[in-house]
Amino acid sequence: MLTVASLSRRQLETRLAGPGLLVQTGAFVSRIRSPIRHVADGIALLYGDYPIHGADGFADFHVGLQYPGGLRRWYQPQVNFDLDGQLPFEPLPEAHAFPMLEWGLNWCISTRAHAYLMIHAAVVERGGLAAILPAPPGSGKSTLCAALVNRGWRLLSDELALFRPEDGLLVPVPRPVSLKNRSIDVIRGYVADAVLSRPVTNTTKGTVAHLKAPADSVARAHETARPAWIVFPKYEAGAATSLTPIPRARAFFRVAENAFNYSHMGACGFATLAGAIEGCASYDFRYSNLDEAMALFAALEAPR
């Protein structure tokens, strides 16, 4: 199958400005349309390894990033994100176009992919076993995820844990890892060959950049993983590295609080989450040193 990297820059821009670029990211195919240079820049830099489909292929999501009409296009230009012709968000400055695409694709999955139980969490895998990292913004989740996937773990997702109800396995959606503020420089210094998008300032999340997903994670996006560890990370400056077991009942409610569609799925959601919790070891994790964090994750033992 062709990949984004097989297209010349002109071919990429022609597809984006015309019928759309059909990109496969794990279980989903998105048709992306946009004439905006920042969008083409981000896709060319970070999506080169991803499979693409023909213009007449099926897509789960039809999205566009377009300039609004009127004079605003020429004076302090803004960008709209549309899904099937609908505008779910307020317009953002043109410079925010690529982060807006990433946020919009996450939103598409989290509001529509109800065949899965969806948790707001990073997911990484090693030896067929997955560590799920649910955490609110500012917890250091994405920094930890970015470091792990550049130290031997496979990226399933930086934002979405997708549990398949029929067997409880995790379905990958590997896309670029979103880094914010100080985390950008931390990962740039920690990962020698890091490929990062241009930092975008003054977003609602501060300064944002995206880290390219490892090529192996993209190539193995069809491989599911079994949940083995649920780790609630928290970065604290100067904190000693610690991993503290927590009871399954407490873990259940904390994961449910991070779910996008637990209530929507009803009994199926309860059974899926209960099965995952039963098969996992659950921990609180505090860290300030990435090397120590990597060593601790490398030493995790599979739960009985």
How many residues are recorded in the chain?
A: 304
Q: Which residues contact 174 (CB under 8 A, 6 or more apart)?
A: 25, 26, 154, 155, 156, 157, 213, 217, 218, 221
Mean pLDDT for all residues in the chain: 95
CA-to-CA distance for 91 and 87, rounded, in angstroms? 9
pLDDT at residue 72, as a whole number: 63
Q: What pLDDT, in 10s, does the model give residues 198-242?
A: 999 999 999 999 999 999 999 999 999 999 999 999 999 999 999
- Residue 69: band (very low, low, confident or very high) from pLDDT cuts 50, 70, 90: confident
Beta-bridge partner residues of 164: none
- Residue 22: band (very low, low, confident or very high) from pLDDT cuts 50, 70, 90: very high
User: What is the DSSP-derived secondary structure letter of residue 212?
Assistant: P
Tell me phi and psi for residue 15, to 5 degrees: -65, -45
Q: What pLDDT, in 10s, does the model give residues 132-173?
A: 999 888 889 999 999 999 999 999 999 999 999 999 999 999
Q: In what order do the strands lie in the sheet with 200-203?
A: 177-180, 206-211, 200-203
- Residue 76: band (very low, low, confident or very high) from pLDDT cuts 50, 70, 90: confident
Query: Which amino acid makes up residue 42?
Result: G
The alpha carbon of residue 116 and the mean position of all alpha carbons in its chain are separated, in whole angstroms, by 16
Beta-bridge partner residues of 170: 163, 225
pTM score over 0.85: yes
Q: How much is the CA Rg of the chain, to the nearest whole Å? A: 19
CA-to-CA distance for 239 and 139, rounded, in angstroms? 13
- Asked if 176 contacts 99 with a C-beta cutoff of 8 angstroms, the reply is no
Q: Classify 194 as helix, strand or coil.
A: coil
